[in-house]
Structure 1
């Protein structure tokens, strides 16, 4: 990180040679010096190169205006201003928090100035490193001899084995040196929330506008279970978003609670919609309680915000409407909401605490911020019994946490601090909006078909776009005003085959074919629907990646329009079954899959499959206990009507359960079964297009499920 930018257009002798001396002095201390050509070049350099650790410039030439511009990019970056003895500063340092040092042009003083720059650089690094990471780095630097875990002893054990050495070289020395035991007192404890761990969680809470934050090292799946098992004691009733992640179903299988479901919507594309406002009302909830055996007044509610497809709620409405003590927003996909004003009022930590209520926000830090996989956070707003909560925390947390994951969670928070963090999120939003406009532009210029974007017509304003009930683009029926909003960085592209009214065309291009083509070109789609593709424009997406995606989409169009053979156009798919795909062309494949969706009347099926829920005959906990006792049998999926499912059944993606343990598919809810059978039939007809369905097993070509013995 030791790189200094010198903004130097100096030609005068008494200015030029002192700067040259300084460059040499910095080089001897291991610094790299770069020379932007002008002010504009400097700003671009700072925006694109976070490793710059300081800027040297001439005060008489650039003065306060340059400082203000740099401050907008990084307010902590050290600035070094050279001035001659006749200069006047003409600045009120109290008006602007400037990290600025002043020097004079003088031959022979380069070594002293370089020493001061080195000190300032170290202070800068120290000021931006958060507490736990700083303590971990210091521990690694001390290189202590330990006689505890882990057994590889800072990587020594790996280097005693040929294959271990390969592993060690791949990851590098510091990875293993920082993999340490929880026994190190100077680092405190993640389980007791002491020492630097406590400081890290306090630092994170301040950053994310929470009263209390917890670092979780096994993903938001674990964070959800921690929150749910603390907030919903056995025998209580819980309100659960039917579009919940399977981790919440697992929580209900682990503890004996009675679930009542918020019933959300879907559109014909299969995009997950929101829960209507009416579902949050006391009257509707009271009616559901009255109609559910064993149910009582709920004390805990969980809502997925945002949805997988990027739809936010007006969270203030939910907080005010729900009559429960604990309100949990599963925000796994949106850990960035506190760092841009367009998300205000649309996330769990927005606004103030409310008397008598506790708000949770669980976030997958690794998903759309910069952290290692499994890094997650729980944010809390409101008063809770911390000792009891920590028991639930420890119940699901390893006594040997991976310090690299913990530190990466803290670093992701540090990256969001100040102007630099806000700029990162704004850049993501701007990049996503530019990409959306580029798709629209290409669509207008293309002969024939091209991909479309699921969004309002007018996206000139940077905001989370409101799903207006009077608009047709979103495809949801009877939605509420000022309730759901589309996140600009979640981009859903649409393929031909269905119009905005949810009507199937005579021809179509199923999105699964596009996803396979993109995968062959090194591009992984986040979620693939029947005629939709979801892309996440996180802070790690840069312009080259966005351009590569555009190029791949245009390449797909070119190959599709030429009706290339599967063997040449999709060689990996061809290898799945060379005999089946021997003479097939891509348009034949597309039409074949499209005809199956027409056969199953996909749009109508999408509406019906999630309109009538299967009947709950026993709680998920009781169903799981029956399975553990062996009180289950295996039957074909097609025979599931009027049987009680032993397992949750959910297709990937998006990993949202459609049948839960203890539920019975009836004739009224049969469209759920039709939907699953459609997915299976597509896989049976076309090798390589099988859908991964949790809870459904292919046994000798027959799809089977487990049901409770009756």
Structure 2
């Protein structure tokens, strides 16, 4: 869905360089004020006057369709400004334009701002501060009103809405009136102030303000076909389209048709349906109530009220109420640094509405319900121990000992440890490698299907419990979640899916990202499996895909499979590090659940797992920020995520265009990170001046893997620096820039909802400084030093060691087919992990000794996790055979940290005697698990 192309801006205009309608609006107002000020100044040069006047008219043409979408200055006030310009009253036009721009830039229009151009006084600093305080007390929003009203009726409606404002209202709102279907869609995508939409009875389809070429770019990827509908039916279709784009908005329908029948049909889309002009006051208060429900942060409110209560503390928490700080002669600075509210709200009690995280019944229960609503889940659980713990909770709840779990080998280490705790048999999946950047991508669907079919041949498919994947990866590779789950469920209809979305919590709040989240895909699958349309689609698929076709594995692999809707179960879990991409304190995370069998098959186990891993003393401050962070995203998430995306693209473009920066640095593109075989769209760049964001929408709609543009991976190999040096020596130590992830020759910059244009500008400045340092250093090198530098550059750009695949589990830990005659790829990581606890089972071999032993025919088996950082993924796990490829990769690494490997000791491996004993135990286990069960 195109959310960024500016109305009135196409490839033919000078403004086409902009990627955002908000950027267009801001820059156009700045230019308009400048030009009008020059034209109004009698002492300015007259030579370029005609060009300035032409530019002013060009700017007003650009801004006219944009201002239609906003309440301030709005269509009417902007038309007045254009009238002054048309009549040549340029001095007055300059004053009015400056006032509008000032109000927009300072956000003072959000309270009590006149929309008429007649009052042209600029607000004072005192008034600006007053408006800011008012905004804190009484937030402002806008309501989109879709109706083809005459000018006088529109103005009467606006006056009527304003007249109903009361001093005790929680919020204040203004209205944006648009007359057509297309104008409404554009406004819903452009105006981030919107919190509600009121759709009238009948209105035209085609936009009156947005040029057709631009409108088509806005609607790229949208299946909109309302032009041929009767006007009386367009309102329901418009509501459905807006609900898909921005599900957080409250929708209201005002109709002159049989309101009872319409309500019965459209009740799922609209919050309320009203008949004509009656109950207008009810509509006004419904709008306020709808926003108030999203604004509620029940646990934060309860904690805030608790902090105000006089309380006698007789529980085990001296810090509570700040007593141990206030009564201290030595740690008063702690209270000064954090502020006393932090400690006044600290308690170990669950009284005063604070609730228990382990058994929530009031404020925390509501907070979790609101989070489920916001993130599109059936139920949501808050976690204060980070997503590492959230992952272990889901794994322990869903996986029984000896269940087989398909896991991306490059997933977060918490999943590997979770499998150890659960006693799972792990089948590691291989992501496609990106050798030239020392990183992995994501796991192809074909590979997952191959693995499931392999297990079906071995007779172990019935034990496969879960597929566990990272969505999105650190570097921004995002799965086609819906397609992957469809194809997997066609092979095994009861699979459970765990999507690690630690870095993807923001995705729910943007229409492009949302479609590839676990919860959105689960909702679509649930709806799909219950529809007649899908039943027909599946029947057509099944009629051409009989048992013989299923026996032809190559055909299965090459076919987009569809599951039987009568058998498929939608069981989807997503874990998110809320603190990583949204507003929450560190370790604040959420578990989102869309599991149709949760009540019958998972609830008790989940409750026990939650009890096992959740602290009985959860941090209330973390929980409060999770509650407020959810509120923020429901009310302004769309705006924040869109700006995050735009800032990232600005960063990419600046580096690409800068003559010095592009000598040493280059941001990786979708071509670099997603091989062509996984890009059905054949898109090579996500943004294009001619078509805007159409490439992005096409790629995210069709490709097996999409790239999140807000993850900007910078290739630095040409600088001669590795990622670790760039991160620590330059970015962190010299310039105080913090990043999370590097590889041998890349560093990752991530924009987030807190990023600003100033931070992007600072990063550009820093990169330029670093590039100048490199330039100077290279220029000063001797011939010998230059050869060393060039060799270093080759090692980072050409001579990189190939990434090794997962070798295999040793036979002592490997699974067996049902008949026990052949080995399978799954391994018992739990037995391997705990075998290493006994020092007598292990020995150490340094790198050269390991190499010699492997060449001599010995299977050297790792007794622990070995994780080089960077790149940060496990090269070895307990029970894995050390292959020559892994050893070659380890020998070529030049990083400072290799977790689980001490150079002076070498690899910790199992003794051959320990492996023989484990192999015998494994044979006994195999016989037991595959033994036929006695009938009841």
Q: Secondary structure at the match of 1:90?
A: helix
Matches within 5 A, 1:165-180: 165-180=332-347
Bigger drift between 146-155 and 431-440 goes to 146-155
**Structure 1: unaligned runs, 5 residues or longer:** 1-6, 9-34, 47-51, 64-69, 81-86, 104-112, 469-479, 498-506, 570-582, 683-689
Matches within 5 A, 1:106-505: 128-184=295-351, 186-267=353-434, 268-281=436-449, 283-288=450-455, 297-322=463-488, 323=492, 324-351=494-521, 352=523, 353-354=525-526, 356-383=569-596, 384=598, 385-418=602-635, 420-442=636-658, 445-446=659-660, 449-455=663-669, 456-457=684-685, 459-460=687-688, 461-462=692-693, 465=696, 482-497=703-718
Preserved CA contact (<8 Å) 1:272 1:309: no
CA-to-partner distance for each residue in 1:90-117, whole Å, 9 max, x for gaps?
Answer: 343799xx7x5568xxxxxxxxx9x658
Q: Secondary structure at the match of 2:111?
A: strand
- 1:24 — aligned with what? none
- 1:510 — aligned with what? 722
Q: Secondary structure at the match of 1:336?
A: helix
Q: Secondary structure at the match of 1:517?
A: helix
Distance 1:584 1:190, change over 3 A: farther
In 2, Cα distance between the equivalents of 1:564 and 1:165? 52
Preserved CA contact (<8 Å) 1:565 1:585: no
CA-to-partner distance for each residue in 1:547-586, whole Å, 9 max, x for gaps?
Answer: 11111111111111111799xx9xxxxxxxxxxxxx9999
Q: Which residue among 885, 891, 900 is the counterpart of 1:695?
A: 900
How far does residue 357 in structure 1 lie from its aligned partner after superposition?
2.4
Q: Which residue among 843, 850, 855 is the counterpart of 1:633?
A: 843
Distance 1:429 1:37, change over 3 A: same
In 1, Cα distance between the equivalents of 2:338 and 2:661? 49
Distance 1:79 1:200, change over 3 A: closer
Q: Does the alignment pair 1:671 with 2:839?
A: no
In 2, Cα distance between the equivalents of 1:622 and 1:467? 46
Preserved CA contact (<8 Å) 1:54 1:78: yes
In 2, Cα distance between the equivalents of 1:223 and 1:297? 24
Distance 1:463 1:661, change over 3 A: farther
Distance 1:492 1:615, change over 3 A: farther
How far does residue 166 in structure 1 lie from its aligned partner after superposition?
2.3
Q: Does the alignment pair 1:563 with 2:777?
A: yes
Q: Secondary structure at the match of 2:714?
A: strand
Q: Secondary structure at the match of 1:156?
A: helix
How far does residue 450 in structure 1 lie from its aligned partner after superposition?
3.3
In 1, Cα distance between the equivalents of 2:103 and 2:607? 48
How far does residue 236 in structure 1 lie from its aligned partner after superposition?
1.0
Preserved CA contact (<8 Å) 1:36 1:45: no
In 1, Cα distance between the equivalents of 2:908 and 2:620? 40
Q: Does the alignment pair 1:657 with 2:718?
A: no
In 1, Cα distance between the equivalents of 2:502 and 2:141? 38
| CA RMSD of superposed structures (Å) | 3.9
In 2, Cα distance between the equivalents of 1:223 and 1:94? 51
Q: Secondary structure at the match of 1:191?
A: coil
Distance 1:637 1:486, change over 3 A: same
**Could you state the TM-score of these two structures normalised by the residue count of structure 2?**
0.57
**Structure 2: unaligned runs, 5 residues or longer:** 1-71, 74-95, 120-130, 143-151, 174-287, 527-567, 670-683, 814-827, 916-936
Preserved CA contact (<8 Å) 2:480 2:516: yes
In 2, Cα distance between the equivalents of 1:412 and 1:146? 30
In 2, Cα distance between the equivalents of 1:154 and 1:392? 32
How far does residue 376 in structure 1 lie from its aligned partner after superposition?
0.6
CA-to-partner distance for each residue in 1:300-352, whole Å, 9 max, x for gaps?
Answer: 11011111110001000111112243101011111111111111331101132
**Could you state the TM-score of these two structures normalised by the residue count of structure 1?**
0.75
Preserved CA contact (<8 Å) 1:450 1:495: yes
Preserved CA contact (<8 Å) 1:440 1:452: yes
Distance 1:490 1:406, change over 3 A: same
CA-to-partner distance for each residue in 1:228-270, whole Å, 9 max, x for gaps?
Answer: 1111111211111112110011011112111112211111212
Preserved CA contact (<8 Å) 1:526 1:534: yes
In 1, Cα distance between the equivalents of 2:785 and 2:651? 27
Distance 1:565 1:222, change over 3 A: farther
Distance 1:513 1:188, change over 3 A: closer
Matches within 5 A, 1:573-592: 590-591=789-790
Larger Rg: 2
- 1:25 — aligned with what? none
Preserved CA contact (<8 Å) 2:868 2:899: yes
In 1, Cα distance between the equivalents of 2:654 and 2:480? 29
How far does residue 391 in structure 1 lie from its aligned partner after superposition?
1.1
Greater helix proportion: 2
Preserved CA contact (<8 Å) 1:154 1:177: yes
Give the number of aligned pairs.
Answer: 589
Preserved CA contact (<8 Å) 2:400 2:422: yes
- 2:105 — aligned with what? 44
Q: Does the alignment pair 1:552 with 2:791?
A: no
Preserved CA contact (<8 Å) 1:306 1:333: yes
In 2, Cα distance between the equivalents of 1:119 and 1:269? 51
